[in-house]
Structure 1
Amino acid sequence: MSKVSNCLQMIQVLMARPKVKIQDLADELEVKPRMVRVYRDELEKAGIYIQSERGINGGYSLDSRSILPIRNFTSDEVQELQIAIQSYLSKQPNLETTLNNALEKIRAFQRDQELSSRHFYFANDHLINTEIGNESEHYKQLFDAFSQRRKVLIAYEAASTSEVTTRTIHPYAFVVYDESMYCVAFCELKQAMRTFKIIRIHSLKQQKERYTIPQAFDIREQFPKLGFIQEPQKVELIIKSPTSNLVKESIYGIDQVIEPLENNAIRFKATLNGSESIKRWILGMGTNVQVIGPATLKQEIHKEIKQMLNQYKDLY
């Protein structure tokens, strides 16, 4: 197969499995392991980032942020693909059914992905444990109401006052931010768009009345206006090897800058959001990271480490 075909096949394999060893990828693609690394480099040039983990249990995995609707086919690309298929069919008419079916699937996928991208937003790549409390069940019910465009009556607890109010909402979208899931909805009580942290919903009931979502609504455009991002932090870190190798393979902020240092260490600078997620990420790197700035973050990390040490003071 051609390089393009192998790259596409490699993406399909990585999408189907959480992690695949390089040798296994090489066997499936019928190439040498060094070619798998070449394909990885080519995909990263196209903005499809593949994470690498070393060791006996290591391998390649697909960065979830790479598979976004913006990487999907444009209408012009679909049209060009159709022209190419028609041209090819003039020489291989026996493949007409197969190729036309494939083109229809691309068109359908394009429509589905565009719809999904307008109503689902992952502000970070952390997975959330939706099995805690009623969050999982409430999300399923909200999603069902969203799919049918039915209003939902909820009992919601305010974060600031702990007051529980009853209100009718129209689910417009869902957002994962700082390891929590939110429903973005029109609130009839406030007569405005509001965000509801799903874990704070005490109860909900789908209503018979339906609602409509404005055709122009797009959560990607609305997200910056919803109040999630309040105080972005300009973070500067010194990260040692081998953790530095993993960090270099991902994009954590659009203004990210990585400066190589001695012994394969790096100086990492980026504007990041979600203070708790930032601290968990840094603490997860253990002794391989040093916080340079901001000073407040450095103090918070120091405080967290002291509290951790106090839990084990009986050992020394």
Structure 2
Amino acid sequence: MILKRVREVEIMSRISNALNMYFLLQVRSLMKVNEIANELEVSPRMIKEYKKDLEMAGIYIGSKLGRYGGYYLENKRYLDGLSFTKDELSALKMAKEAIKSGKYHYSSKFEILVSKILNYEKYLDDNVSYYNKLVKESDETIEKEKRVWIDINLAINRSNKIKMEYKSIKEYGLEVKERVVHPYGIFDYKGATYFYGYCENAEDVRFFKLSRIQQYHVLKEKFEIKYSFELDEIMEKSFGIFNDEIIDLKLKIFYPMSEIVKEKQISKNQKITEIDSKTILFEAKMNGYPEIKAWIMSMGSNVEVIKPDKLKEDILKETTKINDLYNYKNFE
């Protein structure tokens, strides 16, 4: 099992390096073998192996001899040979609008790229009207994250550890702690960007929000993946991004929230039973306790927690605090 996992990591590393070599040649046009090897931190022999891998995928690398020679891409223009289907074009247009309205790090660059593709006359018809509504991070935060996003991606591809000062939001206040992390991947959640990886301090996989990284440094020290971690599987079980203890949740939900909940898949294992025309019983096993609690509180008086008891008690405490807050202000 360990040998199989090591082999999988080696294959993924080889694919990543071959793709990085392709991207370098797209940008720099002509590069010597030693230059590419230095960028990817591998031997010149491996660059020739990546060249074979790319050519097997139909990406042909040319060679120019002499002092000013090197490798270059022979077939940079693919667009004329592509035959887009109507569904593929719609998907591309929808992705453009979703990324544009979602305000991602490179949304403007992606918009330009798609516009170049769609600027062919035969692709101009049938525009897609689509908008992606998200609670977005500020322009200042997104701009600040761009460099972090690039560096962490490189660290993931090259298996470099990251040393950082990270700000966590705790119940007792903010905590800034130095951490050494083995970065595994990056994802977006509710308009914010996170990376996940093995934290040496916690001795477990953790999620880190890019905007909360105070300072960071990509180390030369390499890492090997400690154990298999499938983000999709974790996310399927969790209400949000908290990978905590699974709870057995049972809620009685009243109209109009009952109709809204019936339209959604909150959890893959959810069970919804209609009590009457305006009331449902919602049951599921899931984790992500802080976000489950916030979701229930967002429904106000349209929901009653049946179990677990701890969740009932915690929500009662929160409602008491809210009540005290407003009563205090009324007496001022």
TM-score by length of 1: 0.48
TM-score by length of 2: 0.46
Greater Cα radius of gyration, structure 1 or 2: 2
